[in-house]
Each structure stands twice: as structure tokens, then as C-alpha cells.
Amino acid sequence: MAPNTLSCPFCDFNDADEYFLMLHIEELHTDDSPFVSRGAAAANGDESQLLQPPNQQMDRDDLSEQYVDCPESDCGEQVLLSDLNEHLDLHLAERVTLEEQHDSSSGADPEHTSSPAFIQKHFSTAVSPYLRHAVYDSPGESTESMDTPSKSKRDREEDSRRRKRARRDHDERPVRLGKRELGPHAFEERMPDRLWKQLMAGPKITKTTKISRNGTLITQETVENETAGLVPVLAQLSSSDRDVHEAFYCNPAVLHIFSSPNEGGFCGYRNIQMLVSYLQGAKAPGYDKFTGRTPGIPKLQDAIEQAWDKGIGAFARQQTGGIKGTRKYIGTPEVFALFRSLDIPCTSESFHDMNDGHKAYENLLDNVESYFTSAVPDQEEDKKTKVHRTGLPPIYLQRPQHSLTIVGLEKRRNGSRNLVVFDPMYKTTPALVKLLGRSDISLPHSMAMESCRRWPKNLARYDSFEIFKLTGYPPRFPTWDV
């Protein structure tokens, strides 16, 4: 055992990071921990479901989480029946063209605006127990959990008694997570051969020859499921939107990377790819760990399993049963383990509704706004700049059985705030594609942005979120001038 390895007092688990050890103890050895995913039955005092063997747990998941195939051609997603309407609404927003934008802005239907009344149909963040309530940090950093204040002696004694009870029941409690946390393919040993071959082959790449501005011929590559240059377009759209008072955007190097046709749910991996695209494009700390093209899903699965082999977040291997070659959902712990294993500075935080009335979505928006304002130069504040273009990394946002990449935040004239995101479940809209490369967008195109906006009325329905940030210093060169 490595000299800095910490051991669990109740079993043979060990980890070099105290936060992972804390998470392990809370999930497996504590009766009433907020870290433990118990679901509605446990919340009502029924502990019997927690002690069922895996096969019974599978049956319970089948009854409690009903998945349906998305009827949209080329989607391939299986979504919860309760989320289907919102999922289909986002497919509608995904197909918006500039022509439709002009038709709607001319008139007749007041729902086709950027108002929350219209947008609230487009986003679901139903909270999943998979949001494991902890804060992770890279070595040398100090970030305190909002849910772990220092405990009194009496509280520590009660913790000790609770852990003794947990030790007694340890052999009965299943470690394995189910469909509720890992999605409809939670117990899959291997994905279909067709899909595996598709992922191994990677997205289709098209090469075209064009004449550059200086008259020379250049070869340009287009990747089927990637859109470059989208952040500058969104920043211009925020600037031209009369309802936006102020907006903030991350480094423009990040790509919008989305699912290939009939691929299904690999959102966690696609969001990792978006973080990597920032590292590569901005040459930010850690970019040298990712040479060549953005790593594909099989390579990312290998990298996560290798992180577990090093003992980083290895408890997740027990919980998932392994992810290599499967369609099991991954979340923030796996993302953190991957980047931590590569010594790339990072941190993860969670937000929960508090007893004092503070709401998780408010804390999330506060955190994202503070993150962006920390990079705004004083001279921009003095000039009251409407859109702040920073060099910061994008943010990984975890929500139930899905994750997104935060690329910006808008503050509206009515005082509300909304996130601007890249959603890997939906491809870049035709309207946005048509605006790529332009630097003179002055007319409002609010409908063009609707697939990228996530509104507070929807976020307010849920009581917890989790985010992952890359914390290395952003590049110093003027990224927005390139």
C-alpha cells in the first residue's frame, strides 16, 4: 500500500484522496447519510429495499424508472417517460432555421419568443441519486463542502455509533448501483457490436478545399458531430438580444460535440470531449495529455478504468461493475477521476436545497456568475460592457441521467439569469450553423439560441446539481482575437 493511502475502517477499501474515502464510508457504511442514494422508499422510512439482492433491485428499477425509445429518427436515446415531452421539445428547437426565426419574430405567436413561458417546455433537470453529494479537489487545493460543517463532539459520537450499526449491516447492503443511477443499460455486459464498431470507427470526417482570404488554397476538415466557432456566435446573439442586460462567455476554443446518428446516451463522454476540446484549442494546462484528435468514447472508457486501477475513485468500479464496452451512464466522479489521474487541476462541487431556504439552482447560478465575473477586467466593469468574453474553461454540469457543458450565463433586464449550454444530446441548429464565421450579427435572433438556453423556472424544480471545473490558469493570449 502506498504511504499516503487512506484505509476504510470497516472494509478493505483504500484511496489516496480523503474525499473519495469519505464518500465511500458515507455511501456504504452510514445508515442515514445524505450521500446515500435511497430514493423515495427510504425517504419514507422503508429500508427494506436497500437490503435486496441485485436481481430484486433490477426489478425495482424496472418498475420505478420506465424508459422509452425516442421516436425521432437518428436519435437513438432512451429517455424516462416523464422526460419525453421535454426531450421532444428540444428536438423541435434543434431544427430551428433562420427563416423560422424571422417568421416567428415578425409576429403572430407570442410563445415563440425568448420568454421563460416558452422555454420552460425545453428543459428537464429531474434530480438523480447519481449526484453524489461531495466536493472533490485536486491536490494542493482547498474547497470546502457547503454540506459538511465542523461537527461537535456529540455529533461525532453519534457518527461513531451510526458507523458501528453500519458495520453490522454491511454484508447485507448491496454496493451495485441500478438503472436509477446508471441508466437503462445499467446491467449490460457489452453494448451491441454495431454500436461498438461505430464508436471505434469514430465520426465521419469530410475534407474540402477552399480559397483563403489571402488567395491560397486550404484544406478544411469537417467532423460530423462537431461544431467549431459557436461560442463567438452565441456571444453576438446575446449582445443583439434586447432582453439581455449582461452576458458572460467562456473560452471560444470549446467545440460543441454531440451524439452521432443512432448512438444513444453517451452524454458524459461527449462532455468530457468538450472539455478536452477546450484544452487542445486553447493550449491550456493539460492539453499535452491529449495528442491528436479528441479521444473517442472507447479511449475515454479505457482512461477512466486506468484511473480506477491507480486507486483514484476506484469505488465507482464496484458501483458500476465496470464501464468498458458498455452504455452505462457516467457522472462527475468518473470525470474527476479521469482528469485527476492525468494530474490536470480540477475541482467538483455540489449544490442542494438547504433548510434555511437557499435553493440549489440559486446557488448554482451564483457560483457560475461568480466564476465568470472573476475573469472580467476592471476596465470592462467601468465601461459597463454588455458581453464579457473571457478565456475561462467551460463547466461540466451534472443533472439526472444527463450532463451538459456550460459555456455562458445571461443576466436579463427583468433580473433573472439563465445558463447558456452545449447539450451533447442535440446537434447544432441550422440557424446557428448558418451564422458561423460571421462577426457582424446585429439583428436579434432569439429563437436561434433557444436550444442553448436553460432557464431558472426549470432549474428551480430540482433540489441538487453538481459541477466540475478545470482550474488551471487559462491561456494568456487574446483568444477572442484569433
d(CA 181, CA 64): 12
What's at 94, amino acid-wise? E
DSSP 450: G
Cα–Cα distance measured from residue 346 to residue 390, given in angstroms and rounded to the nearest whole number: 18
Of 128, 192, 203, give the one whose Cα is nearest residue 326.
Answer: 192
Q: Which helix (H) or strand (E) holds 67?
A: strand 67-69
Set out the domains of the chain in order of their start, with CATH numbers: 96-146+176-481 (3.90.70.130)
Could you give the count of Cα atoms lying within 13 Å of 309 in the half-sphere of its Cβ? Answer: 8
Q: Which three cell numbers stand for residue 52?
A: 435486496
Full-model pTM: 0.74
pLDDT value for 444? 74
Backbone phi, psi, residue 343, to 5°: 60, 35
Mean pLDDT, contiguous 10-residue spans, the chain (482 residues)? 65 68 63 40 34 40 65 79 75 66 44 42 40 46 40 61 54 70 91 94 89 78 92 96 96 94 89 97 95 95 97 92 96 96 96 88 96 84 84 93 94 96 93 91 81 89 90 80 57
Q: Which residues contact 110 (CB under 8 A, 6 or more apart)?
A: none
**Strand, coil or helix: 454:** strand
- Cβ partners under 8 Å of residue 443, min gap 6: 240
Question: What is the enclosing helix (H) or strand (E) of 435?
Answer: helix 430-435
Ramachandran angles phi, psi of 314, nearest 5°: -65, -15
In angstroms, the CA 243 to CA 239 distance is: 10
For residues 31 and 183, give the distance between their C-alpha atoms in angstroms, rounded to a whole number: 25
Contact 274, 394 (CB under 8 A): yes
pLDDT at position 424, please?
94
DSSP state of 89: H
Q: Report residue 412 as a C-alpha cell.
A: 436579463
